[in-house]
A and B are shown apart, each in its own frame.
Chain A
């Protein structure tokens, strides 16, 4: 029997339920099958016209219907579906009565173009200014839009639907948000505030303005044809990330609570770490110190050394700068091991699910541990000769995997890493 506490005397935090949705499909089974088969979920956007855009493809989730459509509405619906899948697997609590808090990673919310256009039409004259929009916004006709575009609305809906306890936290650490939601859950359990936490991350923001925003920052791939080949992590001809939608949910529990109720343990969140980079709004410090520090903090939090990590689920966005920086910093932490540890980027197939990515990739990492099979990095035909990772290129690889490091880095100097392991023996 393993002690229910880690090397630092804290409760061990385990995963007992997972739910996932990406452009590959709904649920763990479908996603995993397609992921190890090397399928891409990236396709030409059909949700809205792409005329005039430099990037015309994305990893959209088109099989979930939301009416009336909004990016926030899609984020909410995906979050609800993955949470239900995770709860069904965990078998914890009762219907609408989850015994712990909710930590939700969600994209920043704002009034969207369909609603803004509806207002514009309602003004009813060809020349108007913002005051005219403001004047017709009241009176109750659009009261549903107030609720829809509150930042806290998705979390409030999930909290009420699933009966989570206390004040649900909506958070954003940009592309590291999913990892941060898991970290907040881990910390709450370690502090002994709760035996269980629901960590959810969701992002359904493939809309014209979001695409334009990233385009104007030259962050997106423009290799539109064929769309499946656009996301090229660690390749010499990578040219940016591919926006994508998705969601992930994890039920975390203390090892003690999970074993006491006989729950099947899917894995352990052995370590979490984060470190801010104050160098620049979108670029990493050239010396990589914050990312190096983030990985080292995570190893220390897990009480592990680099040689105990046998797979890295990379942030791997396929932007020229990220992948190079990720290699350099990983080399600094792992030394000679860097060329021996198999590395993969799920983003080659599902794209960059932004706010959801940290959770989506943590779940893929846990599935990797379960199946002892590492999903490939597709489109890896022209390796970048300066990135000497052992990239699991194009074909899934069977491997002995006991501990995975999953990295997430985001705008605003956000760096977060997780270490996931199998159930304590």
Chain B
């Protein structure tokens, strides 16, 4: 009973591929250039009074060649399938059947677009007196597109990625808003670090240009209205502006990457997550401190990339936490990309890895003094992801020594 088989040494995990399709553009160069120019793409009119960060149009054909595949998906799946393809390209494994056949996918997903015409059609007919017992059934049977369900199912983002890019390993879909993105990274990292897996594709995608989602968040008064402001400057005008984005990463054991000659952007050293009760002020900040303490030692040139949403009280709590670590320059993905929900945390990891690989943190874009200039190349970036309602995650991305 005292057998103590020693735990195998934890394997170093590299980020060897990044795929981004966002409101700022597609690919790493376009996103990096926009960040350098502090360019933000917001639409204040199309959904007024609500504000969104719309997807910069992409040519889906280049990653999803079959029109039939594109037709089977709604926008959120197309964005994600597209970004996943960019990540595979970036890692140099697109079309590499040997590797694709063993990739472990962990995808963070919400659900897909509703057919707003069907919904309003039913509701207005009922408002005009349609009240037969089977009215809803009959309308849904005749009006819903049969394959719409597949474009709405959470796990069909992963399903479409598998079909379009020929991934034949494993596939898991995590749900649960922002922290699902952190948990996807956390589980994939644990599996590779412990030797259960060699290579993983993780990430998520979000279509922020959706009124059905706005209704859901409007229930909690979470939507940013009327006028855009950086996340840290929304205290008296709280809320998030939904953003459209796909962000995927290829994570790989150092040995696996070296064996195929792949170069890392950075290494993913740690991902931790928790669920603060958020019953009393300070609960969330205390949880963030706890997660901060769990990360490996930070003695390099550090920075923080935050996924703060702009919603209150979460954003103020997070700002309080950040003030306690004021020596770390902070950047907000919410300001630059909007709130992309499940995708925000993978996006944060992607930008941390990109900043490390390009030898500079992107510039601040904030009037409140929360974000300060950074000189020199960051070697350690902490990604912070606190959900607008529940869930806290944190990751440490480091330069490969």
Contact = CB atoms under 8 A, between A and B. Distances in A.
A142 to B, nearest CB: 4
B321 interface: no
A51 B138 contact: yes
B123 A51 contact: no
Contacts of A170: 174-176, 180
A168 B275 contact: yes
B166 to A, nearest CB: 6
Interface centre among A4, A152, A160 (most CB of B within 10 A): A152
Given A138-B221, A142-B219, A146-B389, A116 B119 contact: yes
B9 interface: no
B85 to A, nearest CB: 14
B141 A174 contact: no
A143 B221 contact: yes
A212 B171 CA distance: 27
Contacts of B141: 52-54, 212, 215-216
B274 interface: yes
A142 B219 CA distance: 5
Given A111-B215, A275-B170, A281 B156 contact: yes
Interface string B145-158: 01111101111101
A152 B168 contact: no
Given A111-B215, A159-B275, A192-B7, A414 B171 contact: yes
Contacts of A290: 168
Interface string B131-164: 0111111101100101111101111101110110
Interface in B66-114: 72, 105, 109-111, 114
B156 A216 contact: no
B391 A413 contact: no
Nearest to B169: A276
B17 interface: no
A121 interface: yes
A5 B111 contact: no
B174 A169 contact: yes
A166 B155 CA distance: 23
B335 interface: no
Nearest to A214: B149
Interface residues of A, number: 92
A138 B218 contact: yes
A5 B123 contact: no
B390 A150 contact: yes
A68 interface: no
Interface stretch (A18-26, A102-110, A385-393): A102-110
Interface string A135-148: 00111101111110
B39 to A, nearest CB: 28
Contact of B163 (A1, A130, A168, A413): A413
Interface stretch (B54-62, B189-197, B254-262, B370-378): B189-197
A167 B182 contact: yes
Q: Quick one: which of A147, A169, A192, A217 has the most chain B CB within 10 A? A: A169
A208 B211 CA distance: 22
B116 interface: yes
Nearest to B193: A191
Contacts of A54: 141
A54 to B, nearest CB: 8
A340 interface: no
| Residue with the highest number of chain B CB atoms closer than 10 Å, among A159, A213, A256, A277 | A213
A151 B177 contact: yes
The contact size tier of chain B is 35 or more
Contacts of A9: 5
Contact of A51 (B132, B168, B180): B132
A216 to B, nearest CB: 4
A252 interface: no
B145 to A, nearest CB: 8
Given A51-B132, A217-B149, A280-B163, A412 B156 contact: yes
B286 to A, nearest CB: 15
Contacts of A120: 122-124, 126-127
A141 to B, nearest CB: 8
B273 A167 contact: yes
A50 B137 contact: yes
Interface string B370-401: 00000000000000000101111100000000
Given A150-B390, A170-B176, A51 B183 contact: no
A69 interface: no
B209 to A, nearest CB: 13
A334 interface: no
A278 B363 CA distance: 41
B167 interface: yes
A413 B162 contact: yes
B173 interface: yes
B172 to A, nearest CB: 6
A279 B171 CA distance: 14
Given A121-B127, A127-B124, A414-B155, A167 B275 contact: yes
A126 interface: yes
B317 interface: no
A128 B124 contact: yes
Contacts of B136: 113, 208
B295 to A, nearest CB: 15
B389 A150 contact: yes
Contact of B179 (A129, A167, A217): A167
B393 A167 contact: yes
A151 B163 contact: no
Nearest to B214: A134
21 contacts: A52-B137, A52-B138, A106-B175, A128-B124, A140-B221, A146-B217, A147-B389, A149-B216, A149-B219, A151-B176, A156-B275, A156-B390, A166-B274, A213-B148, A217-B146, A217-B149, A276-B105, A277-B162, A281-B150, A414-B155, A414-B171
Interface of A: 1, 3-5, 9, 49-54, 106, 108-111, 113, 116-117, 119-121, 123, 125-131, 133-134, 137-140, 142-147, 149-153, 155-156, 159-160, 166-174, 180, 184, 187-188, 191-193, 208-209, 212-217, 256, 259, 274-282, 290, 410-414
Q: Which 10 A-B pairs have the closest CB atoms?
A: A51-B134, A412-B159, A152-B176, A120-B123, A146-B220, A167-B273, A49-B133, A52-B134, A52-B138, A146-B219
